[in-house]
């Protein structure tokens, strides 16, 4: 038998992606073997992150400032906006170092079966950027899933109204059914570098 506190820790760890009950028990045991050296610093870091992290009102990234560091970086090319599904996808592209423009995080994809429509995604701020007239290219870097393709086609229809904005999409290297945040850096670089008009 384990105490209620240990059970609660295992239960919460088990809710994390990629963690099942066995993994959660193993991680809980690892943390509890040295609570002052492992568990307490982790708890403090989680609490601090929960208080400090914000969603960027411009692009949807997660950072400790709003607008985020990417949106305020003077070296970034603000005329090229890369549209991604999740913050994980943004982080994957940043890790690969293949995009020097800015981003738009949709926060998901269109999914009629799940009841997710355009109003549920972070699309309005992208359209606001386009209305300002400073964007010359939008790169659609969405996953090669049915939902990603549906979202891409919907966005292409909306972006067609902006005659002076080129719309491209990531090309080879992204497998059907693949998510960007699990691809290696070389595959991401090839996909972004070989983009083509949408």
Residue 119 is given by DSSP the state G
pLDDT for 66 beyond 80: yes
pLDDT for 194 beyond 90: no
Q: Which of these, 60, 14, 9, 16, lies nearest to 35 by C-alpha position?
A: 9
CATH number of 92-171: 3.40.1360.10
Q: What is the share, in percent, of the chain residues with pLDDT greater than 70?
A: 91
Tokens of 27: 């991680």
pLDDT confidence of 79, banded at 50, 70, 90? very high
Domain ranges of the chain: 92-171
pLDDT confidence of 183, banded at 50, 70, 90? confident
pLDDT for 139 beyond 60: yes
Q: Residue for token digits 């002052």?
A: 36
**CB 122 within 8 Å of CB 106:** yes
| pLDDT for res 182 | 72
For residues 134-155, average pLDDT:
91
More confident position, 4 or 176: 4
């Amino acid at each position: 038998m384990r105490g209620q506190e240990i059970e609660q820790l295992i239960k919460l760890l088990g809710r994390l992606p990629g963690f099942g009950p066995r993994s959660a028990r193993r991680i809980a045991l690892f943390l509890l073997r040295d609570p002052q050296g492992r568990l307490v610093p982790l708890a403090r870091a989680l609490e601090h992150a929960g208080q400090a992290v914000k969603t960027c009102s411009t692009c949807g990234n997660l950072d400790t400032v709003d607008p985020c560091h990417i949106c305020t970086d003077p070296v970034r090319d603000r005329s090229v906006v890369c549209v991604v599904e999740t913050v994980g996808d943004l982080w994957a592209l940043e890790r690969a170092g293949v995009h020097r423009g800015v981003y738009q995080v949709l926060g998901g994809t269109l999914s009629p079966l799940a009841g997710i429509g355009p109003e549920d995604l972070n699309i309005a701020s992208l359209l606001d950027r386009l209305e300002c007239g400073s964007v010359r290219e939008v790169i659609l870097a969405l996953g090669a899933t049915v939902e990603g393709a549906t979202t891409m086609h919907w966005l292409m229809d909306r972006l067609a109204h902006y005659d002076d904005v080129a719309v491209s999409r990531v090309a080879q290297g992204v497998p059907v059914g693949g998510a960007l945040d699990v691809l290696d850096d070389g595959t991401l670089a090839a996909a972004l570098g070989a983009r083509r008009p949408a």
